[in-house]
Amino acid sequence: MSQTLSIGTVLRERYMITDLVGQGGMGAVYRADDLRLAGRVCAVKEVLPELISVPGMEEQAYEQFYREASTLARLDHPNLPKVSDFFQEAGRAYLVMDFVAGPDLRQLIEDARRRDAFLEEAEVIGWMDQLCDALTYLHTQEPPVLHRDIKPSNIKLTPRGLVKLVDFGLVKLLQPDETRTVTVVQGRGTVAYTPLEQYGGDTGHTDARSDIYALGATLYHLLTGQAPADAKQRFLKPGSLIPPRDINPHISPHVERAILAAMAQHPDDRPASVEVLRQMLRSREIEESPAFQIPRNSQTAELDWIIALRAHRGLVTAALLLTMAALLVTLWSPLLPAAPR
């Protein structure tokens, strides 16, 4: 892994690095002071050079970086950090955006677990409503902007109660003799929140429904306190995804239904848009209109049975007991002595 920047390093004669916020295989994120605007704090995302230094492809990689950075710089939404600058220096590419103060949602999950508690559903749904606003905005851009790595640790909660979706991935490297692109800096996602189609790399097709899967998996984690079984495990071992209300019975049935719909393995079985998912989360009952119908398949039918059986557990138990009693009477009645005439 490349060496990170030292504290005190000044980039572009403007951004002084004051802290390493996070680091991974795809790059690093720093906190920095803007030396031209006193008091302004920035987040600087660094793209590691080995990820874009494919022999003969460096120029195309940086061109792609600038195209996508320009797209992000044009975005303006209260639930997204504002991108203010992007540049190349010493063989590395950098993206500068607002620094978002406050904890991320992964930290809040861990705090709740230490208290042996769950996050409140109403508060979590409020966060989801804000995220749906941000994703609807991204997905309706021309061309659409996909995040590809939605997860609790990439969602910050500001002191004013605003959530912000952070850590965009940028660089896509155009493969020689190919018309499709491959995400180099980000796009593989994080295992527990990544749909099957995103594992395909350059052969996989992702669209807004891939972000919907990740949002559903994030909601699962927020309300249950544990990350869901990942898509590969679910494919190899059907039934490995524990229904959310089996972990946290305080989750509303309609919210569980929305989570499971968003996390359907096949994209066609998920809500068609973030707005459809938002309506499912808001509704106490699934809407009957065609706009809110989720395609049915064996997986969703099985989940329907799980949810229905759990919701009517008392009736099912009573019916089973009555059935057993009737069976016992039927079996034992020939053995009973005949009544006197």
Tens of pLDDT, residue by residue over 113-171, are 999 999 999 999 999 999 999 999 999 988 888 888 899 999 999 999 999 998 765 43
| Contact of 245 with 295, CB cutoff 8 Å | no
pLDDT tens digit sequence for 191-211: 899 999 887 654 457 889 999
pLDDT tens digit sequence for 53-107: 556 666 777 777 788 788 889 999 999 999 999 998 987 889 999 999 999 999 9
Using alpha carbons, select from 5, 1, 61 the residue that is nearest to residue 26. Answer: 1
Active-site option among 33, 104, 133, 149: 149
Q: Enter the tokens of residue 209.
A: 């429904």
Q: Is 162 within the bounds of a domain?
A: yes
* 246 noted as active-site residue: no
Domain residues for 228?
10-295
Instruction: Give the pLDDT confidence score for residue 11 in this predicted structure.
Output: 97
Q: Is 2 within the bounds of a domain?
A: no
Q: Is 308 within the bounds of a domain?
A: no
User: Residue 57 — φ and ψ, nearest 5°?
Assistant: -120, 5
Q: Following DSSP, what letter does each residue of 190-238 receive, concatenated?
A: -GGG--GGGGGGGG----HHHHHHHHHHHHHHHHHSSPPPPHHHHHHST
Q: Is 23 within the bounds of a domain?
A: yes
pLDDT tens digit sequence for 7-47: 999 999 999 999 999 887 667 899 999 999 999 999 999 87
pLDDT tens digit sequence for 244-301: 999 999 999 999 999 999 999 999 999 999 999 999 999 874 544 444 444 444 445 5
Q: What is the CATH number of the domain that holds 58?
A: 1.10.510.10
Instruction: Give the pLDDT confidence score for residue 183 in this predicted structure.
Output: 40
Instruction: Give the pLDDT confidence score for residue 177 in this predicted structure.
Output: 39
Q: Is 336 within the bounds of a domain?
A: no
Q: Calculate what percentage of the chain has a pLDDT beyond 70.
A: 73
Most confident of 50-54, 231-235, 308-312: 231-235
Query: Under DSSP, is residue 112 helix (H, G, I), strand (E, B) or coil?
Result: helix
Total structural domains in the chain? 1
- Rounded distance between C-alpha atoms, residue 103 and residue 75, angstroms: 23
Q: Is 37 within the bounds of a domain?
A: yes
pLDDT averaged over every residue in the chain: 82
Q: What number of other Cβ atoms are within 10 A of residue 173's Cβ?
A: 20
Give the contacts of 272 (CB within 8 A, at least 6 positions apart): 209
Instruction: Give the pLDDT confidence score for residue 336 in this predicted structure.
Output: 59
Q: Is 323 within the bounds of a domain?
A: no
pLDDT tens digit sequence for 291-326: 444 444 444 554 555 555 555 566 667 776 777 777
